[in-house]
């Protein structure tokens, strides 16, 4: 009877709940509160929060990868193989996207051997627990280790990497002695199921991307695994830009080209955070991806991170979209701190009416110029300007309405939940993730402040003064940042209407952030 009850409990999802899940439930509650009761960008926060809730429940059948084969992570030799045909492998909810280098688990050179031995002892304890209970459910927390691949020495790019590759760690695992090196790659299972084929065994040479193990599972992969391919394959970000272009009037920027300077000033936060992230120990590619958060542009953050630092996609995407939604909380204190009551009351002259032909030519010129200047950003700029051209041409009303409504709404639901699915407790309750979230706030603050200060600086030379509040709209959060400028201006003077003026730097910020992302991709990709 007792055994039956135990088996019943093991068959429920309660067994999988841990403290990190519970912490993330609280985070989900905060996000839903802000979205539903405070109405802070609910179109973004609701799907993100609900996706995060799904990620922190025992929903591996919904979010996990399908069964398939494992590949060698590098050109080299299989040092050890830990599975054979007929074995069962287990993957918890969160699947490791990349193999782990042995050196990644070492805290210091002095404790290297002890760290590695402790790590492999932990793995052995977990697998032993699974064997005793004859169930996958006890093997909770770490996927099964399948094999270890030692890259060829030729892959070492520097003397430091070569020395790391030669550092030897003697450990015991599963009854066999292992002689490991810092560059050795730990290959993990990617799906729960039966091993149906082993292509490369210990001592055999393998090529990068060559099949190591075939795994069979009755599951074909979860719904959100396939939906999230729109993020990983860079489909969703350009489609979001298509909708943004169709929804946005570029007339305020065309009527007042000086607003380009305010959009450019907001990119100061991107570069300041880039430098700060490098100082904190992130690589240049990681720092560039983190820095784009300062542009408050979720699609662009996803786009650049996929190319430069895909292993950081989860925290960067969440930070970018969360801060976009929290614009009404983050920006106002900075805006009030940097402006006087008199400055906030500045009235700006009504903008001239921009004709249809001007808008069409603008879309074409920006497309050609930006793509010629930074080809790597063609997908974003091209779709942004296509959406705007469809809006303004006057002969594609059906397409314009579809881009403004059905297309962007559907993509927002899928993109939001795909981002939320990445918000698992074991990914987010980590030092590096918290560092990224903190850097995101810094980036956002610098971008907001730079835009306001640029407007104040421009007023020193302009006869017709600019209300500095619209400088904060230089970030890419369209039209949230522009609305914040309007609200803060109305608090100082209820009859002052700043929204259309703020849309100029808002549009400039979208283009500017995309261009900066393209610059980073062009200069850092492949390095």
**Span 392-401, pLDDT tens digits:** 998 999 999 9
Query: Can you spell out the DSSP letters for 69-129?
Result: EEE-SSSEEEEEE---TT-EE---SSPPSS-EEGGGG-S-STTHHHHHHHHHHHHHHHHHH
User: At residue 411, does pLDDT exceed 50?
Assistant: yes
Residue 390 three-state SS = helix
Burial track 154-187 (b if 16+ CB lie within 10 A, e otherwise): eebeeeebeebbebebebebeeeebebbbbbbbb
Confidence of residue 167 (pLDDT cuts 50, 70, 90): low
**Span 438-476, pLDDT tens digits:** 888 888 888 999 999 999 999 999 888 999 999 998 887
**Rounded to an integer, what distance in angstroms lies between the CA atom of residue 94 and that of residue 100?**
15
Please provide the average confidence, as pLDDT, over all residues in the chain. Answer: 83
Tell me what pLDDT residue 164 has: 55
**Span 496-519, pLDDT tens digits:** 898 899 999 999 999 999 999 999
Global confidence as pTM: 0.74
Confidence of residue 134 (pLDDT cuts 50, 70, 90): very low
Contact 10, 137 (CB under 8 A): yes
Residues of the chain with pLDDT > 90, as a percent, come to: 34
Burial of 5 (0-12, 13-18, 19+ CB in 10 A): exposed
Q: Which long-range contacts (CB under 8 A, 24 or more apart) does 270-278 make?
A: 270/294, 270/295, 270/443, 270/447, 270/513, 270/516, 271/516, 272/442, 272/443, 272/446, 273/439, 273/440, 273/442, 273/443, 273/446, 276/439, 276/442, 277/439
Tell me what pLDDT residue 137 has: 42
Up-side HSE of residue 316: CA atoms within 13 Å toward CB? 29
* Least confident window among 3-12, 187-196, 284-293, 300-309: 3-12
Phi, psi of 68 (to 5 degrees): 180, -150
Average pLDDT of the residues in 369-391: 94
Average pLDDT of the residues in 33-45: 86
Retrieve residue 25's tokens: 């439930």
**Span 212-256, pLDDT tens digits:** 888 877 666 678 878 888 888 889 999 999 999 999 999 999 999
Q: Which residues pair with 213 in a beta bridge?
A: 70, 198
Question: Minimal CA–CA distance to 475: which of 497, 500, 453, 443?
Answer: 443
Cα Rg, the chain, nearest whole Å: 26
């Amino acid at each position: 009877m007792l055994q039956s009850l135990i088996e019943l409990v093991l068959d429920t999802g309660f067994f999988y709940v841990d403290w990190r899940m519970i912490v993330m439930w609280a985070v989900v509650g905060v996000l839903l509160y802000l979205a539903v009761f405070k109405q802070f960008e609910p179109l973004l926060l609701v799907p993100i929060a609900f996706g995060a809730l799904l990620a922190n429940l025992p929903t591996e059948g919904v979010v996990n990868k399908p069964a398939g084969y494992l590949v060698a992570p590098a050109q080299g030799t299989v040092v050890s193989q830990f599975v054979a045909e007929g074995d069962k492998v287990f993957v918890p909810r969160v699947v490791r996207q990349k193999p782990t280098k042995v050196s990644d688990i070492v805290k210091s050179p002095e404790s290297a051997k002890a760290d590695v031995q402790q790590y492999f002892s932990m793995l052995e304890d977990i697998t032993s627990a699974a064997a005793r209970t004859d169930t996958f459910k006890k093997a909770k927390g770490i996927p099964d280790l399948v094999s270890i691949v030692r890259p060829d020495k030729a892959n070492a790019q520097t003397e430091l990497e070569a020395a790391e590759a030669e550092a030897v760690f003697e450990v015991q695992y599963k009854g066999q002695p292992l002689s490991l090196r810092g560059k050795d790659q730990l290959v993990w299972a990617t799906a729960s199921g039966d091993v149906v084929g082993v292509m490369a065994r210990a001592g055999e040479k393998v090529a990068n991307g060559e099949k190591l193990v075939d795994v069979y599972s009755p599951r074909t992969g979860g719904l959100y695994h396939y939906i999230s391919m729109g993020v990983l394959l860079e489909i969703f970000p350009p489609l979001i830009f298509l909708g943004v272009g169709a929804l946005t009037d570029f007339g305020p920027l065309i009527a007042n080209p000086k607003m380009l300077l305010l959009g450019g000033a907001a990119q100061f936060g991107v570069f300041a955070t880039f430098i700060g992230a490098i100082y904190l120990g992130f690589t240049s590619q990681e720092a560039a991806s983190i820095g784009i958060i300062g542009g408050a542009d979720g699609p662009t953050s996803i786009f650049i991170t996929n190319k430069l630092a895909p292993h950081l996609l989860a925290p960067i995407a969440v930070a970018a979209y969360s801060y976009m939604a929290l614009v009404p909380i983050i920006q106002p204190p900075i805006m009030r701190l940097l402006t006087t009551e008199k400055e906030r009351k500045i009235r700006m002259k009504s903008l001239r009416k921009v004709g249809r032909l001007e808008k069409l030519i603008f879309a074409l010129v920006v497309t050609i110029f930006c793509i010629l200047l930074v080809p790597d950003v063609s997908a974003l700029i091209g779709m942004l300007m296509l959406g705007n051209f469809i809006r303004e041409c006057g002969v594609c009303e059906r397409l314009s309405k579809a881009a403004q409504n059905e297309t962007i709404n559907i993509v927002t639901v899928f993109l939001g939940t795909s981002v939320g699915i990445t918000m698992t407790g074991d990914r987010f309750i980590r030092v590096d993730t918290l560092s990224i979230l903190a850097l995101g706030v810094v980036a956002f603050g610098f971008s907001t402040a730079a835009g306001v200060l640029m407007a104040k600086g421009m007023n020193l030379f302009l006869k017709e003064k600019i209300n500095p509040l619209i400088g904060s709209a230089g970030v890419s959060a369209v039209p949230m940042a522009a609305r914040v400028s309007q609200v803060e201006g109305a608090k100082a003077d209820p009859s002052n209407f700043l929204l259309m003026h703020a849309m100029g730097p808002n549009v400039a910020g979208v283009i500017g952030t995309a261009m900066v992302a393209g610059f980073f991709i062009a200069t850092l990709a492949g390095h």
